[in-house]
Amino acid sequence: MKLANALFILPLAFLAAFYFYPLAAILRISFAGESARGVWELFTDAYYARVLGWTIFQAALSTLLTLVAAFPAAYILARYDFRGAALLRALTTIPFLMPTIVVATAFSALLGPRGSVNLALMQCFQLEKPPLAILNTLWAILLAHTFYNFTIVMRIVGGFWANLDPQFENAARVLGASRARAFWHVTLPLLAPAIVAAALLVFIFDFTSFGVVLILGGPRLATLEVEIYRQTVNLFNLPTAAALSLLQLVCTFALMFAYTRLQARLAQPLRLRPQAVVRRHLQSAGERIGVGGYLVAMLFFLMTPLVSIVVASFAEGLGYYAELFVNRRGSITFVPPIDAVRHSLLFAGATVLLATALGLIAAYSLHANDRQPSSADRRHSFLRRFPSVIHVLDAVYMLPLGTSAVTLGFGFILALGDLRASVALVPIAHTLVAFPFVVRSVLPILRSIQPHLRQAAQALGASPARVWREIDLPIIARAVLVGAVFAFTVSMGEFGATALVARPEMPTIPVAIYRFLGQPGAINFGQALALATILMLVSAAAIVAMERWRVGDAEF
């Protein structure tokens, strides 16, 4: 029991050392002495007011555009049954699971000055200059955010809609309501909890967006996230960066609070139906043309940017890939670019081990306190002596997901001075973001294990270790694999915190891509495309593995 209690403390100790302590350092520097002026400047300086207003505006507009674009997809996949629907859902998930640096690179490769669209237009119309200037504009950010978050709306709204009994709307039609009126007065109010949940999640992702805004927006369109990075790296203005980080934390946690409150207020008991009963086949020619046309346009929008990376990376045959093995004098990466792949794989491997171990322990600490404790349990279990604490553990483990990666990286710089030059800081930062996914993957399966299986094994004389090895492990193995692969994918694509804490001579793939995109010349752009293609293929392989090992049909 003492060993189990000690293990259960490990995830909390990890969060205390590498999450709460760095955030406390941000609070301390924000309000310490002269540094408090940084907080006051946020309310008196028109520039920071514009940055905050712009951050909210672009996030709100991106959210609205994503809802409009993805709502028809949610309806089609919820109400129609057609061949290839499962494959379609899997394909639409790929953009969301792609690293943000790949998404930004994809739109640069498609719509940038050297992008596929501009090159084709220049060749077709014999133009000397690129006709489209979309990069560093609001449109580039909106397109990329819609591309990235499309599947959130489709899955959350569509998943709820697919189980919503159509008899509600049919009853309204029988009473004389038109199709439009039945939708507005019956279906839409019932969908409100799912729509609000999806909108808030998309807004949070857009509010804390870093790689997309940094690469596609440029300094003129800086958001809070980008401004924190600029104040830290370019200006080394730590008090102002701390004040901005504090402001972003307050906004993010306020959004998370609003999300939980609205969910509780809007949720209502409904009679849900199996998806197989709700869905129907396409019947009329008009339905086939309308649904087919929308799905073709949707796939074109979601797949074209990713395909453009691969196509552009082979514009010089294998030349751009060969350049990855060359350490040119004065290279922006300081080492051969291929070393970035090796660094990313090493960091991802360490992240998988650390995140899986901590995630498993955290999941077991939550599961061990699900059951009603006996008096013996209360005496031997540290956590069960404090039942009020148990209820907040799950939320505490999820906190890193609601915190900006740039803010976490900045907190590391302030608080972990002795570790600032250590290579261990990168996998630690990645683990903070990754291990909650392991918890979410393992905990539902762990809770599904019937207690009598363990009790029977114990009655037959099996030790606790053997019970875990022969009862629990075979059941949770696939969920553990899914969580581990998710941790690997998160680590490979993490950019915000890594850009602040990675050593210059040990860049990861996302950091190297960003450095190349910031340099002039076709070779630098080509190397960025080659690295983005490698990262995209690795991430796609991980997505396929997760879909294969996923347990059940749970959505986001």
Q: Which CATH number characterizes residue 155's domain?
A: 1.10.3720.10
Of 196, 172, 195, the residue nearest 183 (C-alpha): 172
- 279, 313, 347: which is the final residue of a domain? 313
pLDDT at 92 over 80: yes
Looking at the structure, do residues 267 and 304 belong to the same domain, yes or no? yes
Task: Quote the CA–CA distance of 362 and 394 in Å, as a whole number.
Answer: 9
Highest mean pLDDT among 86-100, 277-291, 313-327: 313-327
**Of residues 286 and 31, which shows the higher confidence score?**
286
CB contact burial 422-448 (16+ within 10 A = b; e otherwise): eeebbbbbbbbbbbbbbbbbbbbbbee
Assigned domain for 41 exists: no
Kindly indicate the confidence band of residue 33, based on its pLDDT and cuts at 50, 70 and 90: low
pLDDT at 375 over 60: no
Its sign, for the CA torsion 118, 124, 129, 134, is negative
Q: How confident is the model at residue 379, as a pLDDT?
A: 47
Kindly indicate the confidence band of residue 555, based on its pLDDT and cuts at 50, 70 and 90: very low
Cα of 222 vs its chain's centroid, Å = 20
Assigned domain for 318 exists: no
Q: How confident is the model at residue 431, as a pLDDT?
A: 95
Q: Name 164's bridge partners.
A: 272
What mean pLDDT comes out for the span 74-88?
83
Task: Quote the CA–CA distance of 509 and 493 in Å, as a whole number.
Answer: 8
Q: Is 54 in a helix, a strand, or coil? A: helix
Lowest mean pLDDT segment, chosen from 78-82, 92-96, 255-259, 489-493: 255-259
Q: How confident is the model at residue 150, as a pLDDT?
A: 94
Q: How confident is the model at residue 419, as a pLDDT?
A: 74
pLDDT at 83 over 60: yes
Cβ 102 vs Cβ 309: under 8 Å: yes
**Of residues 148 and 236, which shows the higher confidence score?**
148
Cβ 323 vs Cβ 340: under 8 Å: no
What mean pLDDT comes out for the span 357-377?
70
pLDDT at 30 over 80: no
Assigned domain for 38 exists: no
Cβ 248 vs Cβ 39: under 8 Å: no
Q: How do residues 106-125 score in pLDDT, each as one tens digit?
A: 898 888 888 888 888 888 88
Looking at the structure, do residues 308 and 358 belong to the same domain, yes or no? no
pLDDT at 259 over 80: no
Task: Quote the CA–CA distance of 210 and 208 in Å, as a whole number.
Answer: 6
Matching residue, tokens 């909108």: 199
CA 145, 148, 154: angle at the middle one, nearest 5?
110
Kindly indicate the confidence band of residue 374, based on its pLDDT and cuts at 50, 70 and 90: very low
pLDDT at 554 over 50: no
Of 532, 489, 524, 541, the residue nearest 311 (C-alpha): 532
Of 491, 527, 494, 489, the residue nearest 510 (C-alpha): 494
Average pLDDT, the chain: 81
Task: Quote the CA–CA distance of 301 and 401 in Å, as a whole number.
Answer: 28
Looking at the structure, do residues 417 and 546 belong to the same domain, yes or no? yes
Angle in degrees, 0-180, between the axes of helices 2-15 and 425-448, rounded to the nearest 10: 130
pLDDT at 380 over 90: no
Q: How confident is the model at residue 247, as a pLDDT?
A: 82
Q: How do residues 404-459 score in pLDDT, each as one tens digit?
A: 788 888 888 888 866 777 888 999 999 998 988 888 888 878 877 777 777 787 78
Task: Give phi and psi for 369, each to the nearest 5.
Answer: -110, 10
Domain that holds residue 154: 46-313
Q: How confident is the model at residue 277, as a pLDDT?
A: 55
Looking at the structure, do residues 125 and 81 belong to the same domain, yes or no? yes
Lowest mean pLDDT segment, chosen from 55-69, 82-96, 361-375, 495-509: 361-375
Q: How confident is the model at residue 326, as a pLDDT?
A: 85
Q: How confident is the model at residue 365, as a pLDDT?
A: 84
Task: Quote the CA–CA distance of 486 and 490 in Å, as a whole number.
Answer: 6
Assigned domain for 119 exists: yes
**Of residues 528 and 369, which shows the higher confidence score?**
528
Task: Give phi and psi for 527, each to the nearest 5.
Answer: -65, -35
Kindly report each contact of residues 455-458 with a partner whose C-beta sits within 8 Å and lies 24 or more positions away, as own/partner.
none
DSSP string, 286-346: HHHHHHHHHHHHHHHHHHHHHHHHHHHHTTTTTHHHHHTT---TT-TTSS-THHHHHHHHH
Kindly indicate the confidence band of residue 62, based on its pLDDT and cuts at 50, 70 and 90: very high
Looking at the structure, do residues 10 and 117 belong to the same domain, yes or no? no
Looking at the structure, do residues 362 and 432 belong to the same domain, yes or no? yes
Cβ 185 vs Cβ 105: under 8 Å: no
Burial class (CB in 10 A: 0-12, 13-18, 19+), 86: exposed
**Of residues 191 and 341, which shows the higher confidence score?**
341
pLDDT at 182 over 90: no
33 to 30, 322, 429, 519: CA distances (angstroms): 9, 53, 29, 40
Q: In sequence order, which ranges of 416-463 are alpha helices (DSSP H)? A: 425-448, 451-459
Question: Which conformational region is residue 554 in: left (phi greater than 0), alpha (psi within -120 to 50 degrees), or beta?
Answer: beta
Looking at the structure, do residues 332 and 304 belong to the same domain, yes or no? no
Kindly indicate the confidence band of residue 260, based on its pLDDT and cuts at 50, 70 and 90: low
Looking at the structure, do residues 360 and 504 belong to the same domain, yes or no? yes
- 280, 313, 346: which is the final residue of a domain? 313
Q: How confident is the model at residue 304, as a pLDDT?
A: 92
Matching residue, tokens 């008196």: 44
Looking at the structure, do residues 332 and 309 belong to the same domain, yes or no? no
pLDDT at 235 over 70: yes
Q: How confident is the model at residue 43, as a pLDDT?
A: 64
Q: How confident is the model at residue 274, as a pLDDT?
A: 53
Q: Is 280 in a helix, a strand, or coil? A: strand
DSSP string, 207-218: HT--HHIIIII-
Instruction: State percent of the chain over pLDDT 70.
Output: 84
Looking at the structure, do residues 4 and 50 belong to the same domain, yes or no? no
Assigned domain for 273 exists: yes
Which strand (E) or helix (H) includes residue 94?
helix 85-97
204 to 56, 248, 251, 420, 496: CA distances (angstroms): 10, 11, 9, 29, 15
Q: How do residues 484-497 score in pLDDT, each as one tens digit?
A: 988 998 899 899 88
344 to 202, 347, 355, 508, 523: CA distances (angstroms): 27, 5, 16, 5, 22
Domain count for the chain: 2
Looking at the structure, do residues 276 and 357 belong to the same domain, yes or no? no
